[in-house]
Amino acid sequence: MASNNFIDLHVHPSLKASLCRTTVGVTSWDEIRLDEKGLLGKILKGFEDVLRSQANLTQLKQGNVRIAVVALHGVELAFAERIIFSTLVPLASDLDSGLLQSVASGSVTYFDMLNRDANRLVADTQDHTKVHLVTSFKDISEITDDNVLILVPAVEGSHSFKNFRFDTSKIGTKHPQQNLKLEDENLSATDIKNIVNNFKTFREQYHPFYMTLTHLSRQPACAHAYGVRVRLQNKSNLLVLGKDKSFKPAGFALTDFGKAMIDASYTLDSKNKYTLIDVKHMSLVSRLQFYEYRKEKGYSNIPIIASHMGVTGISCKAIPVRWISANKHHTIDLNTISYHAGCKKIGYNGCTFNPWTINLFDEEIEHILDSNGMIGVSLDKRIVGAGAVYYEFFSDREYDYLRPYLTTHYDLSEYVPVPDERDPQPEEAPEPTQEQLIAADGTVEEDFPQVKNELPGIHPHIQFVANNILHIVKVGIQYFEKNGNPNNINAWNKIGIGSDLDGLIDPVYIKDNTSIDVTYYPLLEQQLITVLDYFISLDNSMNYKFDGKTTEQHVRQIMYDNAFNFLSENF
């Protein structure tokens, strides 16, 4: 296989096109971007990199991406009803405001949106001389032309199989003083059966490689990890995503519906394959319970995938915090508890990790390696630690479980303190109005993270990506040295790139004033070789090249070989 081919374990080439007005004829091959010249483009500064095309089909081919795992998704109510997406962004782009408003009203269901995304992809992949949407590794092995882009389907969020909406008349009745929008807290057995049947029907058509149980808002499979916090990059500094209660976790770990979806995924399909469970977006308690559920049900032989992750750099048994707002009836939110991660663990060359619980802890890296699984490293700068860290939230119902894991005692020599900065607006403040957003003109400069030594020609963000990669390797080496390695698992072989590009992320920079997209993967590979070689030279505590391979060989594996081998075994 040509050395300049790449595999991405998690991209969204069809998502933005599927959300555009059908009258404009946008496809998954087309460039989509925010109109930066108009007034709204200036107001929405900070969204340019988020909204522009990062991994459409044209870009994937230009970047020599041979195989892309496409995460199909039913856009959530929490996003559809935000004014930033339902009203403002459509005024400066081709985004379909009517479609999003229909999701918000319930006339278009999540299953409708999932099929819309899938149908968009199918319509745009009919020319098999250019691209092929496959349903098994057998299909991949039969494509001999290296110029054909291969797309592997996956699903982000088990909510995507819901073909009904919660009863909006009941919003706020459980906690009337809070008017919470909790979607389907208690699905009936009939509801669960219907959703599982939708999954089975979809599965027999597309055979998704993996599925996440949840996403970024409250959904019925399990509690989710807080992961949305977006401010406008102008003088207002308005928090436009992440403040609403829908984005804050609720519930406790896995529900009956979540377990039913795991059982259905871990039942062999007509091609004698499982749909793997992707642990991304699950709350920490949900993930810990998931690992135990696998043991109880005899699923330990099925690999775990974490398709687009970062790592915290620490053990989950000693999570450093500065303060915890543990009053379950405080005015901010009845169902969430806020805490401030008082510091970020220092990694290689002064790079720090994002301590949010959406990222993997060391024990989880061990679980995934033990399962012969796979970790795709995200290219979202917030996830890999190359961005500001604010306080996060977790469900109050998970607090008693988590409390023994939280500590205010930690060795400051191993951490970088995080400023204790509260939001300029109270958390219970309403979403910014259109008038507020329009009035918020002006710009602010983004602070780039500091590293000890900058490497010539390499943006600091790439060091943070490498920092996550090498920590996974370090944890693997230490774990197998201590516990033995009967299956001869090598952590270097279990890492890939799961960029999450075109998934409304804020991507890392590949060079000054240029955020990464898939066309920069050849440059990313060369930069990772340089950075990882430098990092390894800084740490004499262990033999990172125990397998006799060079850094060039290890990075080539990360960019292609590891994911290819994992697909060959599990798809």
CA 546/CA 489 separation, integer angstroms: 12
Residue 440 has pLDDT above 80, yes or no: no
Q: What is the pLDDT of residue 406?
A: 81
Residue 177 has pLDDT above 80, yes or no: no
Residue 165 has pLDDT above 90, yes or no: no
Amino acid sitting at position 205 = Q
Percent of the chain with pLDDT over 90: 63
Q: What is the mean pLDDT of residues 24-39?
A: 80
**Distance of alpha carbon 322 from the chain centroid:** 26
Q: What is the pLDDT of residue 1?
A: 40
DSSP annotation of 266: T
128 Cβ contact partners less than 8 Å away, ≥ 6 residues apart: 148
Reduced to 3 states, what is the DSSP secondary structure of residue 214? coil
Determine if residue 447 is left, alpha or beta; phi over 0 gives left, psi from -120 to 50 gives alpha, anything else beta. Answer: beta
**pLDDT range class, residue 394, cuts 50, 70, 90:** confident
Tokens linked to 409: 């005692």
3-class SS letters over 91-150: HCCCECHHHHHHHHHCCCCHHHHHHHHHHHHHHCCCCCCCEEECCCHHHHHCCCCCCCEE
Kindly provide the residue ranges of all beta strands, DSSP E only, lying in 117-256, ordered along the sequence: 131-133, 149-156, 210-212, 230-231, 239-241
Residue 125 has pLDDT above 90, yes or no: yes
CA 286/CA 234 separation, integer angstroms: 36
Q: What is the pLDDT of residues 322-333, one digit of tens each?
A: 667 654 433 334
**pLDDT range class, residue 429, cuts 50, 70, 90:** very low
CA 475/CA 314 separation, integer angstroms: 10
The DSSP string of 500-539 is: -BTSS--BPEEETTEE--GGGHHHHHHHHHHHHHHHHHH-
What is the dihedral sign for C-alpha 345, 156, 185, 183? positive
Q: What is the mean pLDDT of residues 141-154?
A: 96
The DSSP string of 48-78 is: HHHHS-SS-HHHHHHTTEEEEEEEEE---HH
Residue 383 has pLDDT above 50, yes or no: yes
Enumerate the β-bridge partners of residue 338: 325, 393
Higher-pLDDT residue of 26 and 91 is 26
Q: What is the pLDDT of residues 494-517, one digit of tens each?
A: 999 999 999 988 899 999 889 999
Q: What is the pLDDT of residue 167?
A: 46
Q: What is the pLDDT of residue 242?
A: 64
CA 397/CA 280 separation, integer angstroms: 20
Q: What is the pLDDT of residue 259?
A: 97
Q: What is the pLDDT of residues 104-118, one digit of tens each?
A: 888 999 999 999 999
**Strand pairing class (509-511; 514-515):** antiparallel
CA 481/CA 469 separation, integer angstroms: 19
> CA gyration radius for the chain?
22
Higher-pLDDT residue of 1 and 386 is 386
Residue 180 has pLDDT above 60, yes or no: no
Amino acid sitting at position 442 = G
Residue 35 has pLDDT above 70, yes or no: no
Contact 342, 322 (CB under 8 A): yes
Q: What is the pLDDT of residue 150?
A: 98
Model confidence pTM above 0.85: yes
**Distance of alpha carbon 151 from the chain centroid:** 19
Higher-pLDDT residue of 373 and 429 is 373
Tokens linked to 35: 């109109």
Max mean pLDDT range (205-214, 410-419, 422-431, 506-515): 205-214
323 Cβ contact partners less than 8 Å away, ≥ 6 residues apart: 339, 340, 342, 420
Q: Which of these ranges, 18-22, 86-90, 170-174, 475-479, has the smallest mean pLDDT?
A: 170-174
Mean model confidence pLDDT for the chain: 85
CA 250/CA 245 separation, integer angstroms: 9
Q: What is the pLDDT of residue 293?
A: 98
Q: What is the pLDDT of residues 55-67, one digit of tens each?
A: 999 999 999 999 9
Q: What is the pLDDT of residues 219-274, one digit of tens each?
A: 999 999 998 876 655 555 555 566 677 888 888 899 999 999 999 999 999 999 99
Q: Calculate the alpha carbon distances from 101 to 161, 211, 333 in Å.
A: 19, 26, 26
**pLDDT range class, residue 402, cuts 50, 70, 90:** confident
Residue 547 has pLDDT above 80, yes or no: yes
Q: What is the domain class of 6-570 according to CATH?
A: alpha beta
Q: What is the pLDDT of residues 517-527, one digit of tens each?
A: 999 999 999 99
Q: What is the pLDDT of residue 214?
A: 97
> Pick from 390, 396, 527: which is nearest to 458 by CA?
527
Q: What is the mean pLDDT of residues 545-560?
A: 98
Residue 386 has pLDDT above 50, yes or no: yes
Q: What is the pLDDT of residue 424?
A: 38
**pLDDT range class, residue 2, cuts 50, 70, 90:** very low
What is the dihedral sign for C-alpha 279, 380, 450, 43? negative
Enumerate the β-bridge partners of residue 378: none
Q: What is the mean pLDDT of residues 145-159?
A: 97
The DSSP string of 478-489 is: HHHHHH--TT--
- What's the N-to-C CA distance of the chain in angstroms? 19
Q: What is the pLDDT of residue 124?
A: 98
**pLDDT range class, residue 442, cuts 50, 70, 90:** very low
